[in-house]
């Protein structure tokens, strides 16, 4: 942490060090697991340059065992609960990455492909998946016939779906005659397919290319990479 960033509240200090989210840091402080200059830290206390901050071994071990993985899911792979004969996203990982409590954060149906995030960090689940969070997810969608202006307009404005649900406003950009890009801040089941179906379009291909600050980039289908460093820090900051 640069000198110019001091003084800083203790919960932000712990977040910036990658030890815990601000909320989790407050819990650690309340439980007496954080000290500043050998004295129990207090909620809202500030850390100054030169202060000695210590965290319990238990909390440190927990923070060091957090795993964040990006996976490029191919069509035909299920996100969870595979039926006999089906492959799930975890099957794409090497054996030594399994059994670590990884959960899929933001599912894709079997016929869809693209970016998925897997993690065993429970502190980010609600922040990412809660409908109130409004974190963006971006998709490239190909449909079975030429796009119409009215269809794109309604996709932007929101569409009444079955079950009394109305989709929220979305960013929609036409790419070519049958392909468009859409950015959602919600994740209803089969939402894009249902939105297209409401106007007589069938989705031929659906690919997620971004989740909040995370992008698919050059990650090949079926491959994974560990999220770390500045990319992880940027993502965690975006969830705050």
pLDDT in tens, 18-33: 787 788 889 999 999 9
- The reported pLDDT for the residue numbered 131 is 64
Q: Which of 16, 27, 51, 109 is catalytic?
A: 109
> How many C-beta atoms lie closer than 10 Å to residue 32's C-beta?
10
Residue 88 is classified by DSSP as B
pLDDT in tens, 164-204: 888 899 999 999 999 999 999 988 889 999 999 999 999 99
Beta strands in 101-200 (DSSP E): 103-105, 113-119, 137-143, 160-161, 165-166, 171-176, 179-184
- The reported pLDDT for the residue numbered 240 is 72
CA-based nearest residue to 29, from 8, 14, 50? 14
- The reported pLDDT for the residue numbered 134 is 81
Query: Is 177 among the residues known to form the active site?
Result: no
- The reported pLDDT for the residue numbered 172 is 97
pLDDT above 90 as % of the chain: 61
């Amino acid at each position: 942490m640069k000198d110019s960033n001091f003084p800083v509240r203790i919960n932000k200090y712990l977040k910036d060090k990658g030890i815990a989210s601000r909320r989790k840091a407050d819990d650690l402080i309340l439980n007496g697991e954080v000290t500043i200059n050998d004295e129990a830290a207090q909620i809202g206390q500030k850390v100054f340059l030169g202060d000695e901050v210590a965290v319990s071994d238990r909390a440190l071990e927990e923070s060091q065992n957090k795993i964040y993985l990006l996976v490029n899911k191919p069509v035909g792979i299920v996100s969870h609960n595979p039926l006999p004969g089906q492959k799930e996203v975890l099957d794409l990982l090497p054996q030594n990455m399994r059994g670590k409590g990884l959960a899929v954060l933001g599912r894709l149906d079997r016929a869809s492909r693209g970016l998925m995030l897997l993690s065993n960090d429970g502190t980010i689940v609600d922040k990412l998946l809660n409908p109130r969070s409004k974190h963006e997810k971006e998709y490239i969608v190909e449909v079975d016939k030429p796009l119409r202006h009215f269809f794109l307009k309604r996709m932007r404005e929101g569409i009444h779906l079955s079950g009394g649900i109305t989709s929220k406003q979305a960013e929609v950009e036409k790419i070519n005659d049958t392909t468009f890009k859409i950015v959602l801040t919600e994740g209803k089941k089969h939402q894009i397919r249902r939105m297209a179906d409401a106007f007589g379009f069938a989705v031929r291909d659906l690919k997620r290319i971004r989740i909040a600050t995370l992008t698919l980039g050059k990650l090949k289908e079926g491959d994974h990479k560990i999220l770390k460093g500045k990319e992880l820090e940027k993502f965690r900051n975006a969830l705050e």
